[in-house]
Structure 1
Amino acid sequence: MVESVPSPSPPPPAPAPRSAADLFSDPQDSHPLWFKPSAFLSGDFDSESYISELRTFVPFDTLRSELRSHLSSLNHELIDLINRDYNDFVNLSTKLVDVDAAIVRMRAPLLELRDKIEGFRGSVEGSLVALRNGLRQRSEAASAREVLELLLDTFHVVSKVEKLIKELPSVPADWSNGDVNPAENGSPLSNGVSLSHAAENGTNLRETQSMLLERIASEMNRLKFYIAHAQDLPFVENMEKRIQNASRLLDASLAHCFVDGLEHQDANAIYNCLRAYAAIDNTTSAEEIFRTTVVAPVIQKIIPYGQSGVAASGDALESDYQSIKQSIREDCKFLLDIASTENSGLHVFDFLANSILKEVLVAIQKAKPGAFSPGRPTEFLKNYNSSLDFLAHLEGYCPSRSAVAKFRGEAVYLEFMKQWNIGVYFSLRLQEIAGALDSALTTTSLVPLQNLSPDKESLTLKQSVTLLDSLKSCWRDDVLILSCSDKFLRLSLQLISRYSNWLSSGLAARKMGATGSHPGCEWAIAASHDDLIYVIHDVRFLAREVCGDYLGLVLQHLSSCSAEVHDSVKDSVLQGGKSLNDIVPSIINAIVEALVEKSVEDLRQLKGITATYRMTNKPLPVRHSPYVAGVLRPLKTFLEGERANAYLTTDVRKALLLSAATEVTGRYNELASDLVNVARKTESSLQRIRQGAQRRAGASSDVSEQNVSDTDKICMQLFLDIQEYGRNLSVLGVEAADIPAYRSLWQCVAPPDRQNVISF
């Protein structure tokens, strides 16, 4: 029975249209620009972040009001939607009749489908388990088969090696001479050919033996591979003794064959033996056999040594190396050529290092241990250079750069180089070279060379000569070790710095005048200005030498270095030369100070001018004072002296003359200005006293004074003196008007009508 459904109620009346006044107002659903209703529909909408973002520029009350208004509009919109589709909304509940029965009808086929799927899944899982078990069993069977095959191969290889070893002569003496009768040994070869048949074909028994050993070695190499993959297996452990016996027999037979090949220089036999040694990875035994069999007897003939280790001759090695080189060419080259055969696989051997160089090192250590001692630097350097030449000779036998690198990386090579203690050698040379310069600089006075000649192209002082000799000693062939060139360069720069500091500290002490507080600077305080001529000449000469020929010598020794190293070395040496040139102005100042002190002694006679014209009736002076001629006499005498003419260059003379003239003129200006100022102050005081006395006596205060005052006479005398002084400067080659102190002195004492023009 179907229940009747009540008829739906009529929809509510539509909202009344807006009035005419609303036509010109904002619509009801209008919102501010900052309010975006679409933001509420976003899937990642967050109310808290939305509110906090808007509150930065919208008041909370305004936001709340706008949200309420939007809620009201949504409610109105919902009501409108319901009213518009009201019939469908009401019929929604009537269409959901008998929903449970429909669900039951739908559940039955679904449950049936689930049961079928679970059954199918169970059968698939069972098949998968069976398949996995089968694969596991198959894998285990394959592994077992591999192990079995490996064991079988191991057994076959061991048996094959033992069989091949039995084919070798039982006694090494049977084949050591290579001429045995093959008929006496009827054992077949590995390829089924009898020894007699091999001999009939002209095959050398020694070569055949070496070929057989090479084959055995290759089989032993296979055997090692199998053993490495079948470790800890009982079958292999049971065969261990058989394998060890076979390995010992192979080593012994291979050693005998290799020794026999070396004795007869059988290239084919040696080649096969070396390949056999390489196959079993036993290069050390081959290198040691070659060292003891061939190299050791040769080296002991050249450098004999016994159990006592006493050298048979001196410690020089150069002649020994020459003999060793000859012996290598005669007795060892054949093997080196075989080992360097291209694509032979014999590059694993290093007979140069582990046989030849090792034996040479042992012989030197036992017979000539003093050759490695740096206590005798000269002999040490000769032996070291000879050893480097010997190593370079050995490297000449290397067929490639990689072989040279391998040779230099061998332990024996590194051990050989460690024997040469280069650090101790350099320390001894440092003490020798730097000690000589230090001894020369610790003297209390300058030491000029004996029999000096006026030659600007030679040094004059022993200290300077010692410095130049020390600098050149650092780069002499009998001193320099190229691997220590950086240390010798540093030593050269230190020598220059030591000499520069010696000069600088001495000149500073001379200027301060304190002898006792500056030990080591006594030479500068005791030196005269003529002695400083030697110093300035030597410093300039050394600077030119360092930046010229000496720099070329250094760069010549470092010609194999890169351009970057060349530039760095050049800059450092030039900096050393610059440090010497920087001392020249200080030396010039020291000379100038000595000359100025002598000139000031004559300038002190200026005080006599005041006594001559103060409170006297002498007329105005008409000629200069006698002291003027002596002011520049020390400077003139110095410049015209024999040393100055011989050792001072033109530019130094000009610099020294201008500096001395400027300094003397400055002192002259100071003394003359003080004299004039005192005279004017004295005259002003006397005039005030005279005027006061006249007022007290009732005399007229406008009594005419003398036409020429004492101060005017003093200034006139000074004016005549500086004119003569200016003429003396011109004779020496200095323009007095170019000196600021002279212009100031002229302004101080010249008459008013001659203030602007300096002439004399």
Structure 2
Amino acid sequence: MADLLPPRSPTDIFGDPIDSQPLWFKKGAFLQENFDSEAYIADLRTFVPFDNLRSELQSHLSSLKHELVELINRDYGDFVNLSTKLVDVDAAISRMRAPLTELREKILQYRTSVQSSLASLQNGLRQRAEASAAREILELLLDTFHVVSKVEKLIKELPTDLSIGDLTSTDKGFLSNGYAVNGTNLRETQSILLERIASEMNRLKFYMAHAQDLPFIENMEKRVQSASSLLDASLGHCFVDALENRDSNAIYNCLRAYAAIDNTNSAEEIFRTTIVSPLIQKVLPHSSSEAVIGSRGDELEEDYQQIMQYIDKECKFLLEISSSANSGLHVFDFLANSVLKEVLLSIQKSKPGAFSPGRPTEFLRNYKSSLGFLAYLEGSCPSRSAVAKFRTEAVYIEFMKQWNIGVYFSLRFQEIAGSLDSALVATSLTPVSTEGNPQQLTLKQSVTLLESLRSCWGEDVLVLTCSDKFLRLSLQLLSRYSTWLSWGLASRKAGNVGSNPGSEWAISAIPEDFILVMHDIDYLVNELGNDFLNHVLRLLASCSIEVLDLVKQSLLQCGRSLKDLVPLILNTMIEALVEKSVEDLRQLKGITATFRMTNKPLPVRHSPYVSGVLRPLKSFLDGERATTYLSEEARKKLLLGTATEITGRYHELAADLVSVARRTETSLQRIRQGAQRRAGASSDISDQNVSDTDKICMQLFLDIQEYGRNLAAIGVIAADIPAYRSLWQCVAPPDRQTTIKF
């Protein structure tokens, strides 16, 4: 039997044993009761290659065969004796088969009997169900017939003349069902009967809906339609009579009847045509010939006031009845389908121009008056759910659609943005009179911007439902103003308008004009962060905190954008003042001609040009606009910035002048020495005389001392300016290099 064992590989000397398996191969999985070979292989295939899986399964099969052979070899004696001990097996099988066969036949008999009983029982149940259904249909038809007959009988009890409020006591016996008794209001009795008929009609509709397509029901349809028509007519006449006589009980019963037959529209329409329409036409007649004398065109404010008075006087009684608690009359909406519907129709016919946004001011007044009227109607609703239902009615939605707020905003946008744009396209700044109040805006462009911003949020312009659009318009106005300033400053710096149209004002402006610009920016930034912002937030108080915070941040960001332009304006003024001062500094070049190749002694006083260097700056700061509109902080920045720039220019010119003088002096020195050598004279040159360069430096030194005193006179410490210190070291004598004193 050892030959049945698989041979060991000659190369498997140091490898794993022949019966070893990988960790993922579990032999115990094959012994499970619910083992599924396909699922087992599918699970392993997700992380084991197919060739490895097949090889491992084949190896396991070989191992199982090997174990089987070993088992047979181990118990071979018992295996051989097994066949010799199996004697008369067929006879034993026959003995066991007989009772089993008998048991099977009995089970088949019982099964056939049970199936027969089950079929009989199911047939009986089906017949019973059919009989029950037929009985239900028959009962439904009988009930339908009885209800139709009952309705027809009750309708016959109704009088032909439904003006029952005018009947005499001798006519009170017209009802044979006992509803009319002595002392009973016949109108109320009539309404009670109609409510009962309506209840029966509602039951009749229920029966007919569950018995459709039956010949019996089809034959009764004409009777039902006739009864329904008679009920509608009778109920309508009774309801009109009750409304005209303000019979609360009769109205209540009629409304319950309308609700029972699900015909609320008829009640709402009757109330509109009978009560509401005559009242509204007194205020808003449909024909122009009936117009009220003294009416104010298409304005609606006074009309709404009169309509509300009529509603309080003539309509409140029905509204209170229909909104009474636990009345079951919440299905009616007389506010929308009677009152508001009639108001809308009357406005459309008598004053169609009231809805036109072509006249924005009148349109807004009418719109706000209409919102007030709707708020008045909503005040008659008994609960919030009733208000929500009122706002979802088709008439309410149609009424709101008449007000084209989008077109209104477009017209306001053109009006407001157009006025600002017209002011900004001017070729020069336009000062306005402040009437002695320096805290006001000084330029027409700035005044127009603030007026435009206030117009966006004014009561005569703003529509709260469009507040997001007006906020966007406000931000656009501020951005347009900021861009206008930025483009102007850029064009002035470049020296031409270029691709920035509308920037001509900045090129032609004088430095004093920019004082007004900077003052207006400060005023606008303060306004945006305080009064204007508070006004906007107060109007939007009903919004969430997150929305209010976004609004606040957007306006403050616009203010910061304007504030960022202040340094640019300061630089523009500084550049203009420096250019004026440099004109006097150019006289510096005349110092060379004064002392070059002359016998003038060392200078002892400053040059005349020095007193004119800071004159433009001083005149600017002492001017009316600077003293009136320039803040102390801006004044200091302007003074220091301008002085620093002028001193820098002064240093450049002086350093260049000294450098040229020294180079010239060196060249002349070499020329003199060469001439003396050719003449055979001594090369020694007397150093007792002061050179021209020394005279030039001394003159410059005297000049910058005077310049330093002039700076001190206007409030600037010259020693604090780096360019002045460099200038001092450039021209000061060697013994005064370290100390700046003048």
TM over 0.5: yes
State the match for 1:299 in structure 2: 280
Deviation at 1:97, TM superposition (A): 3.4
RMSD after superposition: 3.3
Show structure 2 runs of 5+ residues with no match: 3-12, 31-39
1:720-740 CA deviation, whole Å, 9 max, x = no partner? 322322222222212223223
Among 695, 702, 706, the alignment partner of 1:720 is: 702
Does the 8 A contact of 2:159 with 2:174 survive in 1?
Answer: no
* Matching residue's letter, 2:415: E
State the match for 2:526 in structure 1: 544
Among 315, 326, 330, the alignment partner of 1:343 is: 326
**What is the aligned length?**
714
1:531-551 CA deviation, whole Å, 9 max, x = no partner? 222222222112212222111
More deviation, 429-438/285-294? 429-438
Q: 1:693 to 1:119 in 2, by over 3 A?
A: farther
CA distance in 1, matches of 2:625, 2:503: 23
Deviation at 1:222, TM superposition (A): 0.7
Deviation at 1:296, TM superposition (A): 0.9
State the match for 1:654 in structure 2: 636
CA distance in 2, matches of 1:518, 1:186: 95
Q: 1:631 to 1:90 in 2, by over 3 A?
A: same
Q: 1:382 to 1:295 in 2, by over 3 A?
A: same
Does the 8 A contact of 2:172 with 2:186 survive in 1?
Answer: no
Among 627, 645, 648, the alignment partner of 1:666 is: 648
* Matching residue's letter, 2:538: Q
More deviation, 453-462/638-647? 453-462
1:65-114 CA deviation, whole Å, 9 max, x = no partner? xx99x999997x98886676554344233223343443333333333333
Among 104, 113, 119, the alignment partner of 2:103 is: 113
State the match for 2:516 in structure 1: 534
CA distance in 2, matches of 1:337, 1:397: 8
For 1:265-284, list aligned pairs within 5 A. 265-284=246-265
Does the 8 A contact of 1:29 with 1:73 survive in 2?
Answer: no
For 1:225-624, list aligned pairs within 5 A. 225-306=206-287, 313=295, 314-450=297-433, 452-515=434-497, 518-624=500-606
* 1:682 lines up with 2:671 in the alignment: no
Q: 1:106 to 1:516 in 2, by over 3 A?
A: closer
1:248-271 CA deviation, whole Å, 9 max, x = no partner? 010011011101100110000000
Among 171, 176, 179, the alignment partner of 1:188 is: 176
* Matching residue's letter, 1:428: L
* 1:133 lines up with 2:123 in the alignment: yes
Does the 8 A contact of 1:372 with 1:419 survive in 2?
Answer: yes
Q: 1:427 to 1:79 in 2, by over 3 A?
A: closer
State the match for 1:734 in structure 2: 716
State the match for 1:99 in structure 2: 89
Does the 8 A contact of 1:310 with 1:368 survive in 2?
Answer: no
Deviation at 1:364, TM superposition (A): 1.1
Does the 8 A contact of 2:19 with 2:63 survive in 1?
Answer: no
Deviation at 1:121, TM superposition (A): 2.5
Q: 1:482 to 1:309 in 2, by over 3 A?
A: farther
* Identity within the alignment, %: 69
Please give the secondary structure, in 2, of the residue aligned with 1:171. Answer: coil
1:133-168 CA deviation, whole Å, 9 max, x = no partner? 222222222222221111111111111111111111
Does the 8 A contact of 1:471 with 1:492 survive in 2?
Answer: yes
Does the 8 A contact of 2:165 with 2:186 survive in 1?
Answer: no
Among 643, 649, 659, the alignment partner of 2:625 is: 643
CA distance in 1, matches of 2:64, 2:327: 98
CA distance in 2, matches of 1:186, 1:595: 110
Q: 1:712 to 1:375 in 2, by over 3 A?
A: same
Does the 8 A contact of 1:315 with 1:370 survive in 2?
Answer: yes
More deviation, 682-691/563-572? 682-691
State the match for 1:21 in structure 2: none
Deviation at 1:227, TM superposition (A): 1.0
State the match for 2:37 in structure 1: none
1:563-604 CA deviation, whole Å, 9 max, x = no partner? 222212111222222222222222211111110001110111
Q: 1:510 to 1:257 in 2, by over 3 A?
A: same
* Matching residue's letter, 2:640: L
1:381-426 CA deviation, whole Å, 9 max, x = no partner? 2211111111111111100001111111111111111111212222
Q: 1:91 to 1:753 in 2, by over 3 A?
A: farther
CA distance in 2, matches of 1:428, 1:626: 64
CA distance in 2, matches of 1:747, 1:121: 131
Question: What TM-score does the superposition give when structure 1 sets the normalisation length?
Answer: 0.87
Q: 1:566 to 1:309 in 2, by over 3 A?
A: farther
Q: 1:665 to 1:284 in 2, by over 3 A?
A: same
Please give the secondary structure, in 1, of the residue aligned with 2:84. Answer: coil
State the match for 1:151 in structure 2: 141
Show structure 1 runs of 5+ residues with no match: 1-10, 13-27
CA distance in 2, matches of 1:574, 1:54: 68
Does the 8 A contact of 1:309 with 1:367 survive in 2?
Answer: no
* Matching residue's letter, 2:253: N
CA distance in 2, matches of 1:707, 1:56: 112
* Matching residue's letter, 1:513: G
* Matching residue's letter, 2:243: L
Please give the secondary structure, in 2, of the residue aligned with 1:477. Answer: coil
Does the 8 A contact of 1:455 with 1:647 survive in 2?
Answer: no
CA distance in 1, matches of 2:696, 2:87: 146
CA distance in 2, matches of 1:637, 1:561: 53
Q: 1:753 to 1:100 in 2, by over 3 A?
A: farther
Please give the secondary structure, in 1, of the residue aligned with 2:265. Answer: helix
Deviation at 1:696, TM superposition (A): 5.5
Q: 1:611 to 1:100 in 2, by over 3 A?
A: farther
* Matching residue's letter, 2:616: P
Deviation at 1:645, TM superposition (A): 0.7
More deviation, 341-350/569-578? 569-578
Question: What TM-score does the superposition give when structure 2 sets the normalisation length?
Answer: 0.89
Please give the secondary structure, in 2, of the residue aligned with 1:759. Answer: coil
* Matching residue's letter, 1:396: G
* 1:627 lines up with 2:615 in the alignment: no
Does the 8 A contact of 2:283 with 2:292 survive in 1?
Answer: no
1:16-75 CA deviation, whole Å, 9 max, x = no partner? xxxxxxxxxxxx9996699459967444698x989x989999xx9xx9xxx99x999997
Deviation at 1:627, TM superposition (A): 1.6
